[in-house]
Structure 1
Amino acid sequence: MKLLVTGIAGFIGSHLAERLLDRGDTVVGLDSFDPFYARSIKERNLARVRGRAHVVEADLLDEAAVAEVLSATDFDVVVHLAGLAGVRPSLGAPARYQRVNVEGTTRLAELARARGVRRFVFASSSSVYGASKRLPFAEDDRADEPMSPYAASKRAAELVLRALVHTHGLGVTSLRYFTVYGPRQRPEMAIHAFCRAIDRGETIELYGTGAASRDYTYVDDVIDGTLRAIDRVGDGYRVYNLGAGGTPTTLNEVVALLAEALGKPARVHRGPAIVGDVEHTIADIRAAKAALGYEPRTGIREGIRKFVDWYSRT
């Protein structure tokens, strides 16, 4: 299979590219190396990809550059992982998030369709569920109360892709990822930031009471679900939750597990809750299990231990 993977230098993108290459697929990667975090980290992410995949540095909004990438290979599937991430950063740059995540996705899908690519897999987010009070979150829940510009941009991109299914016959699968963690996790994300602070004897800035909980999902499980979606993407529009689907873990519990794995005490300073953050997330994964055979296997304690092992080696 020939695949274009956008965001290939990122956390999830680099893991996915490795797995695709390891099974014999042809991979072309697109990444802008946005300075959201250090380029050196992204280059390390690509250590096992460089030389096996063709990696192109280009911005999603550069229509000519993206068109050139798409015209060079007859792709079977576009896997769109690129975009601006993070709830809190989006609060200060809502217009930029809409341009990159909505306009960028729309342009990519249009250019892919024009080149005859009929299959498109999109990385969405559990954030689209917003202020929903129903737990666990299911794919048929209303998702019209976003809590942040980031969430709004992901939901808007989903709707654009859904429209292109109806108007142009594009086959789309949207994957709603639930708080993915593991080796190579972005440095500003909670588990990575907390781990670094505990290791250095620094104080963790914990917003709110620490009772907020997330359906933390280990990266290997998310990659497995993504591969299954790639292999099954067909006509029409489909959406699947990719989460752990078990009991959500509170921030306080995450801090305790990290301190235990590091063998060091955690110092915590508590501040006010952040606007835009939802209180709890948990995934209903029955649809992904039934359609994809998705079966997450890594519990939070084991996943934290694996993350700390990786962190200690870097």
Structure 2
Amino acid sequence: MARGESILITGVAGFIGAAVARALMERGQSVLGIDNLNDYYSVALKQSRLAELERDHGIRLRFCQLDFSDPETLNSTLNSEDISSIIHLGAQAGVRYSLDNPNAYVASNLAGHVNLLELARARNVRHMLYASSSSVYGANTKLPFSVDDSVDHPVSLYAATKRANELMSETYAHLFAIPLTGLRFFTVYGPWGRPDMAMWKFVERIFSDRPIDIYNHGHMQRDFTYIDDIVAGVLACLDRPPRNDGSLKPGGGRKPHAIYNIGNNRPEPLMRLIEVIEEACCRKARYNFMDMQPGDVPATYADISALARDTGYAPTTPIEVGVPRFVDWYRRYHAM
């Protein structure tokens, strides 16, 4: 790839990272992608995402395998790169895994986030967009979740690290006038999704005729958001960096730092999702009802009014459309 101005994407081999990279390259922009390709889930799946990006858009993609929690490696590797903006999506994901391996979250989500903020500061980037999470709302019972709600009581270490990212970003925006946008992602699904997410697990178990684990005895709701809608929202935010106008605004604190919910604005009962999956698979599932997992919450529901107001964001994909697309992709990927 000819060296020139690029958008840096961390976690480029991840589900959302690869989809955002594709969309950027399809509109003619160059992407510098980094990922450590860890084994939290299938490395082969991550490599397949990268291979597809290379096949379709190799001329606009440069990939570096590195761990951004190591500041010396990050800075030395990217020293000669011309970076215009940063989309920081890389992180140690998973609420339940944070119960078993907390140090991974401290390294990637805390130290790693500071390293990217420092990179943004040193390079004077136009805009840094970063991934937060709906998990920051903890056991909030007020629905829908609003960016104005209190987020001071996380119920998992993963959520605590994401809230810490928001607070550190607020500080850097205030001190150094770096335009920063945090996106609180709600449950994302679609082709090339993650094997540790419920959608993939349910489909995998239905096709292998194993019972699916249903937590809280099915009394769960999730704001399921299709990947194409997420990508549209990410790009809309990237193109509209917040300005340092010195005022306090709902959901953003003191500019140039904005925080938005990005979801479907339509919570679905878990049992309804399973019905749609069964229809797409043309098979009935066997159920294994279980108690609530530690660190989990019974319902998520995104108030996306701030994002819609500022960017025109409008998700269009219901689960009745998105789930069959995922199942079709799953069949192809597994040569079914």
Range into which the TM-score falls when normalised by the shorter chain: over 0.9
Give the structure 1 partner of residue 35 of structure 2: 31
- Output the amino acid matched with 2:302: A
The answer as to whether partners of 2:36 and 2:65 remain within 8 angstroms in 1 is yes
Structure 1: tracts of 5 or more residues without a match: none
Q: 1:76 aligns with which of 77, 80, 84?
A: 84
For the 8 Å contact 2:260–2:304, the answer to whether it is kept is yes
Q: Tell me how far apart the structure 2 counterparts of residues 159 and 249 of structure 1 sit (CA, whole Å).
A: 30
Q: TM-score, normalised by structure 1?
A: 0.97
The runs of at least 4 consecutive aligned structure 1 residues that moved more than 4 Å come to: none
1:274 matched to 2:293? yes
User: Is 1:18–1:48's contact at 8 Å kept on the other side of the alignment?
Assistant: no
The residue aligned with 2:227 is 219
Q: TM-score, normalised by structure 2?
A: 0.91
Deviation at 1:300, TM superposition (A): 1.1
| Cα shift readout 1:211-257 (whole Å, capped 9, x = no counterpart) | 110000000000000000111113300011110012x1122122111
- The residue type equivalent to 2:177 in the other structure is G
Name which of 217, 224, 236 aligns with 1:228. 236
After superposition, the C-alpha distances for 1:111-138 in whole angstroms (9 at most, x for unaligned) are 2211222421001111111111111011
What is the aligned counterpart of 2:65 among 49, 54, 57?
57
Residue by residue over 1:152-211, the C-alpha shift from the partner in whole angstroms, topping out at 9 and shown as x without a partner, is 010101110110011111110001111000011110100100001001111112222111
AA in 1 matched with 2:106: Q
| Structure 2 residues without counterparts, runs of 5 or longer | 244-255
> 2 CA distance for matches of 1:228 and 1:2?
17
Alpha-carbon distance in 2 for matches of 1:140, 1:99: 29
Local SS of the residue matching 2:130: strand
SS of equivalent to 1:173: strand
- Say which SS state the counterpart of residue 209 (structure 1) adopts: helix
Alpha-carbon separation, structure 2, partners of 1:119 and 1:69: 21
Query: Post-superposition shift, 1:72?
Result: 2.0
Aligned residue type for 1:8: V
Equivalent of residue 142 in structure 2, options 126, 134, 137: 134
Per the alignment, residue 247 of structure 2 pairs with none
Q: Does 1:107 align with 2:115?
A: yes
How far is 1:65 from its partner?
1.9
Shift of 1:98: 2.1
State how far apart, in whole Å, the 2-side matches of 1:80 and 1:134 are. 29
Structure 2 equivalent of residue 195 of structure 1: 203
One-letter identity of the residue aligned with 1:63: P
Choose from 280, 285, 307 the match for 1:288: 307
Find the aligned partners of 1:48 and 1:113 in 2 and give their Cα distance: 32
Partner of residue 17, structure 1: 21
- The letter for the 1-side match of 2:264 is A
Instruction: Give the one of 216, 241, 244 matched to 2:261.
Output: 241
Contact 2:110 2:165 (C-alpha < 8 Å) held by counterparts: yes
Name the Cα RMSD after superposition: 1.2
SS in 2 for 1:29: strand
